[in-house]
A and B are shown apart, each in its own frame.
Chain A
């Protein structure tokens, strides 16, 4: 993907990351945690322009869940409240045993997409989410078996190497869809030239999705859409609409849709997104 895709006015796929697996309602009460809240949020972001919802599951008290049953309940709520949105499950899970990381792939039907974390990243001061190559391969194997499109999450430039390695090890359906992630800690340092560099180093033919944490969400996703890529926004990655003002998921999606339209990128419907991603 490149600036040529921007000039051509290729449709922009907006993914809304509604909940996440790190913070919860202790951050703000309007973070969707229950299946009903996530279903309502999915309907709101679909109305605002999102084609994809990225889903994490929570227990009734807001703590993390990896169970197939909990994802199933959430999916049922989403499908009951939305028209056609694409459901993308997270397979992330710092500290969770590998077997639990497979559970989100086993709903009926399976999610159309699922995340695939491409390598290690640090959490807090004494914890690392390992995401070994063995786990990446086994998750990818099950995604292939179940017809799930992987969304490769590249948390830093080293994970670009991991993506090339995965492409050498395994057969990958076209197009490869890679999310470039920018933020603190182990992530790629959130600076514009680093986004340019990451895009330049993607495999030929790969589509990319830009994800910036916190205050970097707005500038880097805007830059990403100008470079012909797609974008992810939402409360998982960014709590604020602007300095000191808490956001809702639909506000973040609506702002992105408005900017895209102003800049000449029409916002993709879920059906258009399915065509782009060959779902």
Chain B
């Protein structure tokens, strides 16, 4: 299950993209692609184990 703080947006903070990209509500910014894999619990990654933003939220 993906992180509850994750959403996909094409714009935020005066930045726009052609595709929707991973956005973190805790950090209030678009996240790095590697971090997006953690947000999505993709591969062998898990947001509740590997993301300090989720763990501290």
Residues of A that sit less than 8 Å from B by CB: 21-27, 29, 58, 60-64, 93-97, 100, 123-127
Q: Give the residue of B15, B30, B32 whose beta carbon is less than 8 angstroms from that of A22.
A: B32
Chain A CB within 8 A of B31 CB: yes
* Count of interface residues, chain B, beta-carbon cutoff 8 Å: 26
Closest 4 CB pairs of A and B: A26-B30, A125-B52, A95-B45, A61-B19
Asked if B45 and A126 sit within 8 Å, CB to CB, the answer is no
A14 → chain B, closest Cβ, in Å? 25
Asked if A24 and B32 sit within 8 Å, CB to CB, the answer is yes
In the complex formed, the residue of B with least CB distance to A65 is B33
In whole angstroms, what is the CA distance A93 to B21 when docked?
20
Q: A29-B17, A95-B37 are in contact. List 11 more A-B contacts (CB 8 A).
A: A21-B34, A26-B21, A61-B19, A62-B19, A63-B33, A63-B36, A123-B34, A124-B38, A124-B51, A124-B52, A127-B38
**Would A127 and B33 be within 8 Å (CB), given that A26-B21, A95-B38 are in contact?**
no
Asked if A95 and B22 sit within 8 Å, CB to CB, the answer is no
Asked if B21 and A127 sit within 8 Å, CB to CB, the answer is no
Q: Give the residue of A21, A25, A61, A95 whose beta carbon is less than 8 angstroms from that of B44.
A: A95
Q: What are 12 inter-chain pairs, A to B, with CB distance below 8 A?
A: A23-B32, A23-B34, A24-B33, A25-B21, A26-B31, A26-B32, A61-B21, A63-B33, A95-B37, A95-B38, A95-B50, A97-B44
Question: Which residues in B have their C-beta under 8 angstroms from that of A93?
Answer: 43
In whole angstroms, what is the CA distance A141 to B31 when docked?
35
A132 → chain B, closest Cβ, in Å? 13
- From 1 to 57 in chain B, residues with beta carbon under 8 angstroms from any chain A beta carbon are 8, 15, 17, 19-22, 29-38, 42-45, 49-52, 55
Residues of B that sit less than 8 Å from A by CB: 8, 15, 17, 19-22, 29-38, 42-45, 49-52, 55
In whole angstroms, what is the CA distance A164 to B51 when docked?
34
In the complex formed, the residue of B with least CB distance to A22 is B34
Question: Which residues in A have their C-beta under 8 angstroms from that of B37?
Answer: 63-64, 95
**Would A22 and B38 be within 8 Å (CB), given that A95-B45, A95-B50 are in contact?**
no
Asked if A62 and B33 sit within 8 Å, CB to CB, the answer is yes
Asked if A64 and B38 sit within 8 Å, CB to CB, the answer is no
Question: Which residues in B have their C-beta under 8 angstroms from that of A60?
Answer: 19
Asked if A126 and B21 sit within 8 Å, CB to CB, the answer is no
Asked if B15 and A26 sit within 8 Å, CB to CB, the answer is yes
In whole angstroms, what is the CA distance A111 to B22 when docked?
30
B14 → chain A, closest Cβ, in Å? 12
Asked if B32 and A100 sit within 8 Å, CB to CB, the answer is no
Question: Which residues in B have their C-beta under 8 angstroms from that of A23?
Answer: 32-34
Asked if B32 and A126 sit within 8 Å, CB to CB, the answer is no
Question: Which residues in A have their C-beta under 8 angstroms from that of B29?
Answer: 26
**Would A96 and B52 be within 8 Å (CB), given that A26-B32, A123-B34 are in contact?**
no
In whole angstroms, what is the CA distance A26 to B14 when docked?
12
B45 → chain A, closest Cβ, in Å? 4
